[in-house]
Chain A
């Protein structure tokens, strides 16, 4: 009788030991999975995926696919030509930055995508962009194509009526900087000083 009790006690002990071992293995697996997930999203912690594939039309009327951005660092920003202040200023500043970069900017793609395709035809973009660095690519397309790209880049773009029955647009003004792998590595903002923005673009061009 005493021997049977000891055997059962040992069996119980062994079973609890197995349960503990299973818990440790499960915990290690979960932790490993979490670390892997964190590594994959390591470019900007906590950031949602910005960017993606698109098909648009450039200022020369030619099709422009996001395929062209593969293995090429790129700067992407959105605006429209009926924009009196921030868009021409951002384009002007980008022109200065590209001039400062010189030939190093040749491997950098700089995209200005309209949020107002109804008025910003390729011809209109062509005329407007002639005032800026010729390496800046202006992109337009159908309403659906532009809606698709703004969604992928998580851009705010909304029409605001003016009293003459026309409209202006509210839109995200951030310049997004992507490396050659298409990972968002940094942004340029309107509030930053010129030196900070230039340093970020220099790094982007160098790192590729």
Chain B
């Protein structure tokens, strides 16, 4: 009786370990990050671009864990000629967009978020659309930390965040219901 009970506990422990391990694997697969020189880069991502698109966007979170302020001034993207740091806003129905002059400052202890409708890397002179679920190599150029190599995850067209799977894989009639989540 006692042995059976012990076995049961062992079995539960084994199963629990498996569950935890698989959750950790899923989390690790979904989120990727880079850190160097007091900078933490969380989940760089881009989106599938429509055919013929000459531009795309890059998003991520940058946290300054160091003691000195730094600035994101540009970078590179394997599928584009140029990368600029841009800001987008919509005021009174008018979308305005332009380069962030002098780069995007990240002060110590702060996190700067590049996301849809806000700051983004403008990936210019696109040679081809990033493909869904691929990883595209690139670099982030900081004024002080220099170049940091990253890989951009590719989300569907229309995705509002890197984990938004409800967008369309290649944009046309490929998705399910109409319960697309919004991340405002």
Contact = CB atoms under 8 A, between A and B. Distances in A.
A174 interface: yes
B5 interface: no
Contacts of B54: 81-82
Contact of A170 (B95, B99, B117, B178): B95
Interface in A178-208: 187, 189-191, 193-194, 198
A61 B63 CA distance: 49
B145 interface: no
A190 B116 CA distance: 11
A85 B94 contact: no
Interface stretch (B13-21, B24-32, B135-143, B165-173): B165-173
Contact of B157 (A86, A88, A191): A88
Interface size class of B (residues with CB under 8 A): 35 or more
Contacts of B154: none
B99 A92 contact: no
Interface stretch (A23-31, A37-45, A126-134): A126-134
Interface size class of A (residues with CB under 8 A): 35 or more
A24 B6 CA distance: 101
Interface string B15-55: 00000000000000000000000000000000101111111
Mostly, the A contact residues are mixed
Given A84-B55, A162-B84, A189 B97 contact: no
Contacts of B180: 96, 194
A158 to B, nearest CB: 9
B95 A172 contact: yes
Contact of B53 (A81, A162, A170): A81
B95 A88 contact: no
Given A81-B54, A168-B97, A170-B97, A190 B90 contact: yes
B57 interface: yes
Given A100-B178, A128-B50, A164-B82, A89 B173 contact: no
B88 interface: yes
B172 A131 contact: yes
B95 A131 contact: no
A54 B98 CA distance: 30
Given A82-B54, A131-B51, A132-B172, A92 B157 contact: yes
Contacts of A83: 55, 97
Contact of A191 (B52, B90, B123, B171): B90
A5 interface: no
A131 B178 CA distance: 18
A171 interface: yes
Interface of A: 81-86, 88-89, 91-93, 95-96, 99-100, 124, 127-132, 156, 160, 162-164, 166, 168-174, 187, 189-191, 193-194, 198
Given A95-B171, A128-B52, A174-B93, 6 more contacts: A84-B122, A86-B90, A88-B157, A170-B94, A187-B93, A198-B178
The 7 closest A-B pairs by CB, nearest first: A92-B158, A131-B171, A127-B52, A131-B50, A174-B93, A173-B95, A84-B57
